[in-house]
Amino acid sequence: MGKRQKGLSFYKKKKRISAALVKEILVWCFGIFAAVLIAFAAVYAVGMSTSMIGVSMEPELYNGQRVLINRYAYLMSSPKVGDVIVFLPNGNRNSHYYIKRVVAVPGDTVQIIGGRLYVNGEQIVDERYDKMAEAGIAENPLLLGADEYFVLGDNRNSSEDSRSANIGPVRSSDILGRVWFHMGCDEEGIGFVE
């Protein structure tokens, strides 16, 4: 009996899937599913989403872009200068959500002189923003009340914001939350709002 022949052999050993491997795969699948479910529940419970309407927040946010809103961001604190907030103008439940940046907080005096923003008599210099063509109600000094915020769009000359008599200073009771994440519709894809 003899020798084995050298050369090609088409005999393949069958691979067996062990019970331990199947168990490991199922544990990983369950872990991933549970993590996604918990993340979805957390976002749903804490936040909500809406779409940006118009070009008033370009280049940060674009028309049609989806944003996530943290509805509970201001339960323990108040909006700060630089926050991007979502609000209903004058509490009008029939209006669409407005998304703007806070530039002044309660107790501040706001004025727009020569197309530039002044808060408490000091010019706010930020090279990202163009000179404003219209000062609106901020042409004269405007003292914000105890629960009022002055908001502007990043695209200052294409924004209906606190300068408009229709909007005016935003009351804290009309603020729905803080924008903290945006998705799609721009070259950057998704990201956190600065």
Q: What is the dihedral of CA 91, 66, 52, 96, to 10 degrees?
A: -30
| CA pair distance 80, 163, nearest whole angstrom | 19
**Per-residue CA distances from 26 to 17, 22, 30, 31, 40 (Å):** 13, 6, 6, 8, 21
Provide the pairing of β-strand 66-70 with 175-183: antiparallel
Given the residues 9, 100, 158, 159, the one annotated as active site: 100
Helix (H) or strand (E) segment spanning residue 116 = strand 116-119
How far is residue 110's CA from residue 119's CA, in Å, rounded to a whole number? 5
As a whole number of angstroms, the distance between CA 145 and CA 163 comes to 15
Q: Helix, strand, or coil here: 109?
A: strand
For residue 59, cis peptide bond before it (omega within 30 degrees of 0): yes
Annotation says 56 is catalytic: yes
Of 12, 15, 49, 56, the active-site residue reads 56
Q: Which amino acids are annotated catalytic?
A: 56, 100
